Amino acid sequence: MVIRKAAEFKYSDITPNSVYMNRRKFIGAGSVAVAGATAGWKLLDLSWPSRVALAGTKLNVANKSPFSTSEPQTSYKDVTTYNNYYEFGTGKDEPSKNAHTLRTSPWTVSIDGEVKNRKQLDLDSLMKLAPLEERIYRHRCVEAWSIVVPWIGIPLSALINKLELTPKAKYVAFQSLYDPKQMPLGRSAGIQLPYVEGLRLDEAMHPLAILCFGMYGETLPNQDGAPVRLVVPWKYGFKSIKSIVKISFVEKQPPTTWNIANSQEYGFYSNVNPTVDHPRWSQGTERRLGELRRRKTLMFNGYWDQVGQLYAGMDLKKNY
Ligand SMILES: Nc1nc2c(c(=O)[nH]1)N[C@H]1C(S)=C(S)[C@@H](COP(=O)(O)O)O[C@H]1N2
Ligand SMILES: [Mo]
């Protein structure tokens, strides 16, 4: 086993997904660890049968976060084979089969709109804006399944604080990559692409909202939104937009993909709320992947104490 050291790490070292998945099988999900003082490194595993298995790049995580839940984590297998990523197919098992065609390097994110310093940031610069943190969060899909994932990322506020916004910036709009060559199934996704999402500026500044680059100690697999996605744990999963290429600061509430698709069923806010049912199903309970019995869904997915004040005075039934 050859281990390359921290200084040599660049995000562009990202391994193709197929090879990555092979090594996962080899090391198993159990070897995930918080790397303490060591920096990101790369494993070259020569013992994998008949070929060299390059690693998913290990990410260095400085500290345990007080924002993490101590609930049991969902298995790596479930989180990487049961996905919603319509650009790669609408079946839960399709993204894991198809997303290897996503090219995640080189990758740039454009920052534009109501900001004085519009720019293009590459992944390395984005990841260096703040120390990487592990955030073990509950993730609740609007379809009433849930998972617990050890994400790795930086507070979205770390990016926003580095920018000079104009006084008109009231919302943040996000856009995913849409390249039909890499995402041929996007044409039959049944939703308008590119996928777009948005947050109010104060929601985006909340310490729980993160720009996410990895999970389970390593860079994100393509099907989970590589190389950079949003994670907003108090909102339904569809707000956590994957494979982001553009972040815009805007004055008016921006359009969002599922609201465009069906505004009766999916609102802009989409805070997890067990007391506001989806028109076609109850939001009172959920199925946690890997568990047999359904669980009660918690107010704002269990983050009410932290984020409730963002919505003080708002009618949560109207602002669904
Ligand atoms: N670009 C894009 N982002 C997306 C989606 C998508 O289809 N396309 N699906 C959303 C939905 S509905 C959920 S529940 C989460 C799923 O994330 P996961 O597959 O990593 O669990 O991603 C969200 N982000
Ligand atoms: Mo979802």
The distance between the two most distant Cα atoms of the chain, rounded to a whole number of Å, is 62
* pLDDT tens-digit series, residues 188-234: 999 999 999 999 999 999 999 999 999 999 999 999 999 999 999 99
Q: Count the Cβ atoms, other than its own, within 10 Å of residue 117.
A: 9
Q: Which atom of ligand 1 is nearest to the CA of 83?
A: 19
> pLDDT-derived band of residue 267, with 50, 70 and 90 as boundaries?
very high
What local confidence, expressed as pLDDT, does residue 60 receive? 86
Residues near 28 by beta carbon (within 8 Å), at least 6 away in sequence = none
CA 225–ligand 1 middle distance (angstroms): 8
* pLDDT tens-digit series, residues 69-116: 999 999 999 999 999 999 999 999 999 999 999 999 999 999 999 999
What local confidence, expressed as pLDDT, does residue 10 receive? 44
Residue nearest to atom 2 of ligand 1 (CA): 242
State the DSSP code for 143: T
- Give the ligand with the smallest distance to the CA of 80: 1
Classify residue 103 by burial, with Cβ atoms within 10 Å: 0-12, 13-18, 19+: middle
Mean pLDDT of 272-293: 98
* pLDDT tens-digit series, residues 17-58: 333 344 444 343 333 333 433 333 334 333 333 223 243 789
What local confidence, expressed as pLDDT, does residue 64 receive? 81
For residue 4, the cross-strand partners are 42
Query: How much is the pTM?
Result: 0.85
Task: Return the ∠ at Cα 296 (arms to 90 and 311), rounded to 5°.
Answer: 85
| DSSP of 101-128 | G---SS-EEEEEESBSS-EEEEHHHHHT
Q: Which atom of ligand 1 is nearest to the CA of 85?
A: 7
Distance separating alpha carbons of residues 189 and 90, to the nearest angstrom: 6
CA nearest 110: which of 253, 228, 10? 228
| Antiparallel, parallel or unpaired: β 2-4 and 42-45 | antiparallel
Ligand 1, residues 94, 238, 260, 287: which to mutate, most atoms within 8 A of Cβ? 238
What local confidence, expressed as pLDDT, does residue 62 receive? 73
Distance separating alpha carbons of residues 288 and 284, to the nearest angstrom: 13
Burial 59-93 (b: 16+ CB within 10 A, else e): bbbeeebebbeeeebbebebbbbbbbbbbbbeeee
Ligand 1, residues 143, 210, 242: which to mutate, most atoms within 8 A of Cβ? 242
Classify residue 235 by burial, with Cβ atoms within 10 Å: 0-12, 13-18, 19+: buried
Distance separating alpha carbons of residues 31 and 29, to the nearest angstrom: 6
Instruction: Check whether 263 has a pLDDT greater than 90.
Output: yes
Please, what is the average pLDDT of the chain?
Answer: 87
Instruction: Check whether 257 has a pLDDT greater than 90.
Output: yes
CA 11–ligand 1 middle distance (angstroms): 22
What local confidence, expressed as pLDDT, does residue 48 receive? 33
CA 201 to chain centre: 18
